[in-house]
Amino acid sequence: MRPLLMRVLLCALVVMAILAPSACGSSGGQAPPTTAVAAGASDTTTTVAEFPEDTTAVPEAFSADPTAGVDLIPGSAGGGIALRSGDATAAVYVPAGAVADGAKWRVTPLSASPSGVSRPLCPGIYVDTAGAEPNEPCSVGFALSGEAPEGATIVRISTYGTSSEIVPTTRLFRDGVTLLTANVDGFSAYTTAEEDKAAIDEAFVERAKARGKQVDWTIKAGGTETQSLEGWDFTYEIDLFASGGDVWQGGRYEGYVNFFVNGVYNGPAPAFVDTFGEVKGSGRDDALSFYIVDAPLASLLTGESVGEPLVCGAGVAHLEGLASLNMSAQAPNVSGNYDTGDVSATDATPFTIIVNGEDVQLEIPNVGIFPGKILRTTK
């Protein structure tokens, strides 16, 4: 019986070690084979973009076939497009109202990474707005097969291709694909690269200073859930608070999470045997950090609609705390007791976050779904 008890204790201490697939759209382990897909602002329909006969010249600093470019005509309703960039998928999304009707952009995949990118992860894209610059932030993103390096980020390449600038980037790894997305104020050439973590963090700080604000959105979620497992009844309590985001709800979030569990054994016992079992545990992560990705760009990158206005995110809570297990059994002529006392415990607990308007669902596999809210905290 002892191995069973220890198995139950591990389950109660810190949720589960495998993140189940969520409601978020996924690509099934490979970057989607999209060559040119244009999507409307609602992402409810997709149409194959046409390749016009006329082409727009790409600056000589970049290696590209101009005839491989694709027109993006967002109009006042907004829209987006996705196309291949080497082994990756690249996407551009323009929100409603960002450009006037009649604007005609051209997105061209680069055939090689510019010299100004020292550690490229894909060739990149060049976006020609033909003078119709957006009047509010737009989005650019890349889907890379496999788990990208820790320092993977989107970079903006200079006009002459000799230097690059780190763009604050949202990162989400799901089902064998890494999604890198960013909000940008203008377009030229963008790609992905591996950069130093300190430089990436500094880019977020500089972005916040430039906009005169540090926090855009606040998420609070939690509550109580119950589960039964092999004769044990567990009660889980979660309290999560995080702030972050960007122009929209997608972006990086930082905060804390508290986790509590209490389990009581109510399973069967042999005749004439009285049993008692109780497990308790608690954990806290004071440095919680995770990302969520806005729905329109995620839909373009994965090739599947995630159901506007859903926003999907995922992260791992690194919990540190205490746990205890106390069990006893008593029969007419024999009795036994097992008590661990308080034991220090650490574990990584994956979770998924779904945002629908102001409503939030925090899902921890095999534990439960906890409701919450997301509110804009600065303007």
Q: Is pLDDT above 70 for 315?
A: yes
Q: Kindly state the average pLDDT of the residues 206-217.
A: 71
pLDDT of residue 143: 93
Q: Which of 150-159, 275-284, 320-329 has the highest mean pLDDT?
A: 150-159
Please give the structure tokens belonging to residue 188: 């030229």
Q: For residues 336 and 327, give the distance between their C-alpha atoms in angstroms, rounded to a whole number.
A: 8
Please give the structure tokens belonging to residue 288: 């919680």
Percentage of the chain beyond pLDDT 90 is: 23
When mean pLDDT is compared across 103-117, 135-149, 230-244, 326-340, the lowest value belongs to 326-340
Burial code (b: 16+ CB inside 10 Å, e: under 16) for 345-378 equals: bebebbbbbbbeeeebbbbbbebbebebebeeee
Q: How confident is the model at residue 232 (pLDDT cuts 50, 70, 90)?
A: confident
pLDDT of residue 334: 66
Cα 293 to Cα 170, 173, 230, 243, distances in angstroms: 7, 11, 37, 15
Give the dihedral sign, CA 190/194/195/197: positive
Beta bridge partners of 292: 251, 313
pLDDT of residue 16: 28
Q: pLDDT per residue over 37-59, tens digit each?
A: 333 333 323 333 333 344 456 88
List the domains of the chain with CATH numbers: 2-22+216-376 (2.40.160), 37-211 (2.60.220)
Diameter of the chain by CA atoms? Answer: 93
Beta bridge partners of 321: 283, 345
Is the pTM of the predicted complex or chain greater than 0.75? Answer: no
Integer-rounded Cα radius of gyration of the chain: 25
Q: pLDDT per residue over 287-301, tens digit each?
A: 998 888 887 888 888
Q: For residues 343 and 178, give the distance between their C-alpha atoms in angstroms, rounded to a whole number.
A: 36
